[in-house]
Chains A and B, each alone.
Chain A
């Protein structure tokens, strides 16, 4: 298979897939939350475009609907909801830079090479170019998970999760020309519900530990005993060990 022998539409598809990979790298190391949401919106838009092109090439009807659904959901609705969430959490100017960006990017590159290697022995009767897009989508999934590992901000974790979902969708569209419509509707609805739940959950976390840094979630284990104190004392800034707390407020177990 050589690139020039493919029809133009399929070459365009490869370009779009490469751009999706690029947006997932941008998501990984983008320091500003608002720009990260924009990158995610672009990723959603590109995945919708891929669906649209596959629909045109294969002319299967339900893929048009699926492309539209992805565009509305991933490129418009969910970014808007995240934007609103960020404004309510007052995180608009939040900047979180990675500690070792070079190493993070290097690992992401290695994940891409690894997913390529994994996909290599896939069935030969599949067109080689769809196999390659499956490699890209697996890479997007892995990079989404890696993003959840390296980023500390909770909203960034949501973006990582969402981009994993984007990768899976891309794999489904390119390898099997889409899933049955019912399955897609179900998945889309699940994602929407997850978004709403995230919004509610974030407020709870912030109220309880006064920060949205996921690393601080491990302190929740120490505050379990003192949950009853939350109404009486101010929200604890730092977890106190039992011995360090003032005796007056101490609740012996």
Chain B
């Protein structure tokens, strides 16, 4: 009975999300309905999804049901197994936090010109769409829910559509979402043509030839990779995520990208069947490139939300590194390291949802109180917004993969699985996998640099502009939403064995092999294989760190001198340091920019100003635009120009085309 309770909880969550959307229809008349009714319903939907997903994950059985909706010969099927349960839990927890955060944030839009009906209505639809994608058990429902998810997020991205740049960003997002969706549909089409029907069960049972399996894999990787923001198909991410309202950006970055990861895992690990090692190499390579490129681009940004968007590209790269390693190990027959890599990827998906959601909510708080997104205007916010500052620090430490928070655990697991490369038979793979992990190490160090820059420039130092100097702390609701995610970041970092044990159900179901009991059931430390081989005792490390800090503080404060006196900062005897003498965000990143300059289109110029002074201009462009997007755009344009010749305007010619098509169709039917 518990099983169907989980499914009913999840379906309740979908219904609540739709109700939240419906409730927002009244927002035109009474704007407060958004924060009084729609957002709390949103929060409840998140709670229900979390509860249902967790119970499905922990119980580990697969439940299927058929909904009385859809086409007569193609009813919609839903299934709730451990994988869906896990991703539903991710969706649920972030939506829960966003639901708590939302009312106070949305209040800022009540007096504005943008339509609140659109905001509330499409948020609910977006959540419902995402949950249904994860639940879908046949390709038809999957694609319908995918479209609902993409379209509603398009409207949310275009929320503040007065600005032309926002409209352009939204259009780019819509275009790429649909190209990706088309690729996914074609992939399902390949699978469906070999099986009998669109249901996932039929696709699982089908057997494909290796060539067709690779075609299906390539289409799925293209489609889901585009949605996940892998290089070179990432261009929409840094345009679309910053312009959406911040709680929606948290949802998009934290949750929607994970739904793309879910789709990829479901397609490749569950439906396609026999895995091939070439796929693993491709996924690993693209993951490495995305991770490195994403973090370098993030380091160069001065817009906080754009920086966080590029950082999402990087983290998705890390998740796909884990998935690529899993593919490599599983396809060459080493199931234990493959399962380890798979669990590392899933853990990182959870962690990214938590800390990226937290960071975007923090960026929203900064935007709410100082109306500023540009890092070069911020500074000293820690003393004006202490709680937001503290919680944002937790987010920065987590994303920089530092112990004892959660980001470190998933990086540790990814490194450990890469280290099992000595088990490969092929010497080439044994050399390439460690090189990939060196790229991962470089990425990790650059992420730490990026978030030192973000936190140091935004929260520390002195304020660089007047409105930031007058920023005030945000309302309690916004702080509570962030606090929930921050507490979970710490929790996921300190009890990794519990999480790994829970995650173990997923590979057991999908791949029919899991990590042995010894790994997951020792609560104190994660030990892989023998205890002398690789271990990390997260709770002990956290406790010892706290103990040492407490002990040192106690010892030193018993000394004779306890007082702290305030004075001016060191100024070499010249004038006191003003706020313009601090390092700016661009200055902080300059050494690294200089080392990696050839990866970007860096355009630096010193131009004279009208008043005789000089201005330093720096533009950093994305090379993939020139290498990939512009040629594609030019090709499409050239092809369309040729097709346009069909539209000659002559009525008789059109009738002639109609006759020709009719003849061809009649001939085919006969």
**In the complex, chain B residues 298-323 whose Cβ is within 8 Å of any chain A Cβ:** none
Q: How far is the CA of A129 from the CA of B482 in the complex (A)?
A: 59
Q: Which of A100, A109, A117 contacts B428 (CB 8 A)?
A: A117
User: Is B427 in contact with chain A by the CB < 8 A criterion?
Assistant: yes
Q: Mark A167-203, 1 if CB is under 8 A from B, else 0.
A: 0000000000000000000000000000000000000
Q: Are A116 and B598 in contact (CB under 8 A)?
A: no
**In the complex, chain A residues 66-124 whose Cβ is within 8 Å of any chain B Cβ:** 100, 109, 113, 116-117, 120
Q: Mark B552-595, 1 if CB is under 8 A from A, else 0.
A: 00000000000000000000000000000000000000000000
Q: Across the interface, name the chain A residue whose C-beta is closest to B431.
A: A113
Q: How far is the CA of A183 from the CA of B560 in the complex (A)?
A: 84
Closest Cβ of chain B to A117, distance in Å, is: 5
User: Is B432 in contact with chain A by the CB < 8 A criterion?
Assistant: yes
Q: Are B428 and A113 in contact (CB under 8 A)?
A: yes
Closest Cβ of chain B to A2, distance in Å, is: 13
- B contact residues around A109 at 8 Å (CB): 435
Q: Mark B412-435, 1 if CB is under 8 A from A, else 0.
A: 000000000000000110011001
- A contact residues around B598 at 8 Å (CB): 100
Q: Which of A100, A113, A120 contacts B432 (CB 8 A)?
A: A113
Q: Across the interface, name the chain B residue whose C-beta is closest to A117.
A: B428
Q: Across the interface, name the chain B residue whose C-beta is closest to A120.
A: B427
Q: Across the interface, name the chain B residue whose C-beta is closest to A109.
A: B435
Closest Cβ of chain B to A105, distance in Å, is: 12
Q: How far is the CA of A113 from the CA of B427 in the complex (A)?
A: 8
Q: Across the interface, name the chain B residue whose C-beta is closest to A114.
A: B428
- A contact residues around B428 at 8 Å (CB): 113, 116-117
Q: How far is the CA of A100 from the CA of B427 in the complex (A)?
A: 28
Q: How far is the CA of A109 from the CA of B598 in the complex (A)?
A: 20
**In the complex, chain B residues 417-462 whose Cβ is within 8 Å of any chain A Cβ:** 427-428, 431-432, 435
Q: How far is the CA of A100 from the CA of B428 in the complex (A)?
A: 25
Q: Across the interface, name the chain A residue whose C-beta is closest to B595.
A: A102
Q: How far is the CA of A194 from the CA of B626 in the complex (A)?
A: 47
Q: How far is the CA of A118 from the CA of B229 in the complex (A)?
A: 37
Closest Cβ of chain A to B435, distance in Å, is: 8
Q: How far is the CA of A116 from the CA of B431 in the complex (A)?
A: 10
- B contact residues around A100 at 8 Å (CB): 598
**In the complex, chain A residues 30-68 whose Cβ is within 8 Å of any chain B Cβ:** none
Q: How far is the CA of A80 from the CA of B361 in the complex (A)?
A: 68
- A contact residues around B435 at 8 Å (CB): 109
Closest Cβ of chain A to B37, distance in Å, is: 57
**In the complex, chain B residues 459-484 whose Cβ is within 8 Å of any chain A Cβ:** none
Q: Mark B618-632, 1 if CB is under 8 A from A, else 0.
A: 000000000000000
Q: How far is the CA of A120 from the CA of B428 in the complex (A)?
A: 10
Q: How far is the CA of A116 from the CA of B426 in the complex (A)?
A: 11
- A contact residues around B431 at 8 Å (CB): 113, 116
- B contact residues around A113 at 8 Å (CB): 428, 431-432
- A contact residues around B427 at 8 Å (CB): 116-117, 120
Interface residues in chain A, defined as those with a beta carbon under 8 Å from any beta carbon in chain B: 100, 109, 113, 116-117, 120
Known: A109-B435, A116-B427. 9 other contacts (CB 8 A): A100-B598, A113-B428, A113-B431, A113-B432, A116-B428, A116-B431, A117-B427, A117-B428, A120-B427
Interface residues in chain B, defined as those with a beta carbon under 8 Å from any beta carbon in chain A: 427-428, 431-432, 435, 598
11 residue pairs bridging A and B, Cβ less than 8 Å apart: A100-B598, A109-B435, A113-B428, A113-B431, A113-B432, A116-B427, A116-B428, A116-B431, A117-B427, A117-B428, A120-B427
